[in-house]
């Protein structure tokens, strides 16, 4: 089974944008959910403030990455539609780069969950896993294969 490369980029981009939005919402609207306070910490608000600082950066990066992938999907529609052989390696690399990034994110999330006993919430695993799978399916598209032959 395969997927149109532009659709794969849009889905992957939507997953990352949703993760970034989730980070913003949790850290600013319900910080106690996303940042457990240490019982021995005399200043528990410092933990939330630090988490918000890093969370803003992470959320911004996720939303930015998602936006870039969605934006690039429009260009992919055009070049794949024209069966441009020069564009096929670029599209393939975009999807491969996203697939590799998603695998690293899943690896670190698993490490934090299993070894450190405090990992990201389940939506991170779901969205990142979906992003990896659709990138793989997009790379196997017959449209990209047809573009290689053009």
Whose tokens are 């911004």? That residue is 60
Summarize pLDDT for 67-106 with one digit per residue, the tens.
Answer: 999 998 888 777 666 666 667 788 889 999 999 999 999 9
Cα Dmax for the chain: 66
Residue 149 has pLDDT above 60, yes or no: no
Considering only 7-11, 75-79, 82-86, 114-118, which range has the smallest mean pLDDT? Answer: 82-86
66 within 8 A of 16, measured Cβ to Cβ: yes
Encode 6-42: b = buried (16+ Cβ within 10 Å), e = exposed.
bbbbbbbbbbbbbbbebbbebbeeebeebbeeeeeee
12 within 8 A of 131, measured Cβ to Cβ: yes
Percentage with pLDDT > 90 across the chain: 49
CA dihedral sign, ordered 109, 57, 17, 65: negative
């Amino acid at each position: 089974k395969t997927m149109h490369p532009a659709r794969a980029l849009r889905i992957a981009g939507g997953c990352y944008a949703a993760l970034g939005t989730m980070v913003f919402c949790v850290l600013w609207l319900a910080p106690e959910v996303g940042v457990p306070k240490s019982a021995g910490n005399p200043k528990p608000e410092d933990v939330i403030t630090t988490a918000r600082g890093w969370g803003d950066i992470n959320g911004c990066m996720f939303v930015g990455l998602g936006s870039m992938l969605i934006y690039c999907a429009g260009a992919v529609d055009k070049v794949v539609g024209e069966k441009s052989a020069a564009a096929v390696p670029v599209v393939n690399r975009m999807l491969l780069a996203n697939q590799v990034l998603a695998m690293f994110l899943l690896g670190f999330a698993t490490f934090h969950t299993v070894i450190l006993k405090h990992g990201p919430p389940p939506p991170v695993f779901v969205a990142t896993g979906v992003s990896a799978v659709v990138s793989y399916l997009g790379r196997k598209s017959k449209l990209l294969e047809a573009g290689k032959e053009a």
